[in-house]
Structures are given as structure tokens and as C-alpha cells.
Amino acid sequence: MWLKDRIAIVTGAGTGMGKAIALRYAKEGAHVVVAEIDAASGHQTAAEVSAHDRRGLFIQTDMAKLSDINAMVAKTVETFGQIDILVNNAGVTKSLGFFDVTEADWDWIYSTNAKGLFFCMQAVAREMAKRNQGKVINIASIAGKGFRGTSNIAYAGSKGAVIAMTRIGASQLARYNINVNAICPGATRTSLYERVMKQLTEREGITEAEAVARLDASIPLRRANTPDDIANMAAFLASDEARNITGQSFNVDGGLMWD
């Protein structure tokens, strides 16, 4: 077990990549805090973590609210006494053309994807620094590296911010023996992916099958990610096997992007 008895927080762990990461961490021996805005899916993931004979704790958290973030971190420390791993996974987007992005869209996307991610990282790192150890894994996107097929320009900008904050965070937290890395998923078959694809088909007047076929054809390995593909990388980066890796942004995308 790579993560035996570690305490991990996974944000947005009710579904998709976050849920896959939470369950993989449980299999690797970690106790997992499920920080999720949706109570039903959050409770479900926590129950599935507990089914692996690990403790799963659901804490309802809106990542756009600093008060929720701070309360979630405080509850984690109160319950477990420490935090070893943070996976900043929660994120939002929708399919929008260049001229369709509004100020409300921008604020909605950045409040969770950039602002919420930073302040969660800051609050958790403050606790990690007390013990001089920790692993932070930020879920970015190849959109943050300029992937042309991004859902919208505001989302791409927010994920570019995640990549930059990962590098600066790694530099400034290294003195506390805290590793900070990012995972940049490509197309990943989650409920969010399905919603974006539905919006795309409606906007462009094509069928969902045509949209999926177009996307898969653009991937060198000819397949989109499953959530487990992201969980595999997240497990490695949280483990001692990755103890000397920090400030990096790893693409998991079937070969869509090379940098």
C-alpha cells in the first residue's frame, strides 16, 4: 500500500475523477475526506471509501466559498489530527464560444477553478507546514496549455492559472518539504465531460456520436481517459515514490499535447 494510514482530502470527490481518486487512495490505505458540494454523491463516495476498511468522511464544501474551505480543513484536522495529501480536483466549466463568455461565466469559473483552488491549497499547506511534510496535487487541464478543443477560453485561462500556481507553490513550499504537482487531463469520460459534449452538439448542430468520434480521432492513442487513468497518476504523485518530484504538470491525455 503506497498510502497506508495517510490522511487525504479530495475535493469534488462525489463523481468522476475525484471519486476515482478517493477510491484509489482508499485501496492504497489512505483515510479520505470527501470535500464535495453535492451531499448525495459526497455521502456515497465516503461510504465506498469506508467499504475498503478505511475511514471516509464527507464534508459538504462549496469551493467558491472561503468559509467552507476553512471549515472543511478545520474539521479534517479536528477529526484526524493531520493532513498528508490534498487533491484539488473540484472544477466547473461549460461549452461556450469566444463571444458567448459573460462576466458571470468568468466569475463562476474562476471562483472555483482558481480562487477556490488557491485558498484550499493555502489552508491545507498551513497545516502541512507544521509537520514539515505533505503532498499537494492540483487537477489542471491540457486546456491550460492551450489545447484548442477547450470548452471555453475562461476555463482554459483558469487552468493556466492552476499550472502557474502549482509552480510557484512548489517553489515557495519546498522549504516545508511539501511537494506540489499538477495533473493535466485531456478528454476524460466523466459527467462533466458528457455535459460539455451535449452543449457542444447543441451549439454546432452535430450528433453526440459525431462529436465523440471527432474527439477520439484527434487523440493519437484513439481513446479518451477514464477517471481511473487520472487516479493512477494521482496515486503515484501522492506516494513516496514521487518524493523528489515537485512543480511539474503532467499531461494524461493519450498524446494530445506534448508539453
Closest Cα to residue 95, out of 184, 12, 198? 198
Rg (the chain; Cα; Å): 17
Is residue 94 a part of any domain in this protein? yes
pTM equals: 0.93
Q: Could you give the CA distance from residue 117 to residue 94 in angstroms, rounded to a whole number? A: 18
Is residue 239 a part of any domain in this protein? yes
Cell of 83: 493532513
Give me the domain span that covers residue 51.
7-188+226-251
CATH code for the domain of 149: 3.40.50.720
| Active site positions, annotated | 155
The one-letter amino acid at 214: R
Is residue 143 a part of any domain in this protein? yes
Is residue 208 a part of any domain in this protein? no
Is residue 1 a part of any domain in this protein? no
Closest Cα to residue 29, out of 55, 5, 56, 58? 5
- The one-digit pLDDT tens for each residue of the chain (259 residues) are 899 999 999 999 999 999 999 999 999 999 999 999 999 999 999 999 999 999 999 999 999 999 999 999 999 999 999 999 999 999 999 989 999 999 999 999 999 999 999 999 999 999 999 999 999 999 999 999 999 989 999 999 999 999 999 999 999 999 999 999 999 999 888 777 777 777 778 877 888 788 778 778 889 998 889 999 999 999 999 999 999 999 999 999 999 998 8
**How many structural domains compose the chain?**
1
